[in-house]
Copies of this chain bind each other. A is one copy, B any other.
Amino acid sequence: MSLGGLLGEEAGAALQQVRTEPIQQRSAARLSGLLDAAAAVVDEVGFDRITTAMIAERAGASIGTVYRYYPDRVAVLHALHERAVVRFRQRVVDELGASTLTSWWDAVDCVVTAFVGLYRSEPGFRIVNFDDRDGAPAADAVADADFFARRLADVLVNEFDLPGGDDLIFRLEVAVEMADALLARAFHTDPVGDERFIAECRLVLRNYLDGFYSPQALNLLADAS
């Protein structure tokens, strides 16, 4: 579900996690400081070994402060996840803007590149693979697609000529799940990411989104064999 953030979730959703909206100035620093601390700890012990005490100590705060901002331990992880997704979106936008896209799969490559880049440089970025098997809202990701989904869909539909509509949404959802799985696998043990899986991910995405499974493509393959 990591890349899934691309397809939905209100931009302000992360703030619903926090108990009290910070009013004073210093609080904002505290809040991001807590997340920075959590990110660091995630890199050190993984996100199921993390303890509230570790976060507090690392942030130079007390336990109570953690609970002032987040209702419980997993809420912190959710918030960190949200922040990672937001930064990922931003990176993709930057990447898209900085690249000259000669084909639609350049856009897809930008997404993969952004993801891989953050995985390598952003502390605690592996939190994107955090999936709470719980009563998490699981929001109607399709209904209120955010600006980013539109942006990516626009690129694919307008700048190049992929068929849009519900079919594209579904395909993107499938593509996201696959990419997520393959990239997570690439970084499962290798901290720099196993290039084979990364490359294969790009290849799979390109072929999948190219409608390779359309009837005529299947016929071509059948004829060739």
**A positions within 8 Å CB-CB of B:** 46-49, 133-134, 138, 170, 173-174, 177-178, 180-182, 185, 188-189, 196-197, 200, 203-204, 207-208, 210, 212-213, 216-218, 220-221, 224
Indicate which residue in B46, B49, B182, B218 contacts A177 across the interface (CB closer than 8 Å).
B182
Indicate which residue in B177, B212, B216 contacts A185 across the interface (CB closer than 8 Å).
B177
| B residues near A48, Cβ cutoff 8 Å | 133-134
| B residues near A189, Cβ cutoff 8 Å | 138
* Contact in complex: B133, A46 (CB < 8 Å): yes
| B residues near A204, Cβ cutoff 8 Å | 174, 178, 208, 213
Given A174-B200, A178-B204, A134 and B49 contact (CB-CB distance below 8 Å): yes
| B residues near A212, Cβ cutoff 8 Å | 207, 212, 217, 221
Indicate which residue in B134, B170, B181 contacts A178 across the interface (CB closer than 8 Å).
B181
- Some 24 contacts from A to B, beta carbons below 8 A apart, are A49-B134, A170-B196, A170-B200, A173-B185, A177-B178, A177-B181, A177-B182, A178-B178, A178-B182, A178-B204, A180-B181, A181-B181, A204-B208, A204-B213, A207-B207, A207-B212, A207-B213, A212-B212, A212-B217, A212-B221, A216-B224, A217-B224, A220-B221, A220-B224
Query: Top 10 A-B pairs ranked by shortest CB distance?
Result: A181-B181, A46-B133, A177-B181, A220-B220, A178-B178, A177-B185, A203-B213, A207-B213, A174-B200, A212-B212
Minimal beta-carbon separation of A159 from chain B (angstroms): 16
Task: Tell me, in angstroms, the Cα distance from A224 to B181 when the chains sit together.
Answer: 30
| B residues near A207, Cβ cutoff 8 Å | 207, 212-213, 218
* Contact in complex: B178, A133 (CB < 8 Å): no
| B residues near A185, Cβ cutoff 8 Å | 173, 177
| B residues near A188, Cβ cutoff 8 Å | 138
In the complex formed, the residue of B with least CB distance to A161 is B225
Task: Tell me, in angstroms, the Cα distance from A134 to B50 when the chains sit together.
Answer: 12
- Contacts A138-B188, A212-B217 known; list 17 others, CB within 8 Å: A46-B134, A48-B133, A48-B134, A49-B133, A173-B185, A174-B200, A174-B204, A177-B178, A177-B185, A181-B181, A203-B213, A204-B213, A207-B213, A217-B220, A217-B221, A220-B220, A220-B224
